[in-house]
Amino acid sequence: MLRFLLPIVVFLSGCLGPVRDLYPEDESDRPVTVYIVSHGWHAGIAIESEAIIDYLPDHPDIPQARYLKFGWGDGRYYTDTEAGFWLMLRAALLPTRSVLHIVGIDISMENYFTGSQIIEIKVSEEGARKMGEFVERRFRRNSDGEVIYAADGLYTNSVFFEARGRYYLPKTSNVWTARALRQTGYPITPIYSLTSGNVVQQARKDGRVIR
Could you read off the pLDDT of 164-175 as tens digits, one per residue? 999 877 888 999
pLDDT at residue 83, rounded to an integer: 52
Alpha-carbon distances of 52 from 11, 15, 47, 129, 168, rounded to whole Å: 32, 27, 8, 7, 28
Cis ω for the linkage preceding 170 (within 30 of 0): yes
Could you read off the pLDDT of 68-125 as tens digits, one per residue? 999 999 987 677 555 544 445 444 545 579 999 999 999 999 999 999 999 999 999 9
pTM over 0.85: yes
Indicate the pLDDT class of residue 163, thresholds 50, 70 and 90: very high
Cβ burial, residue 188 (10 Å; 0-12/13-18/19+): buried
136-140 average pLDDT score: 97
CA distance 120 to 129: 18
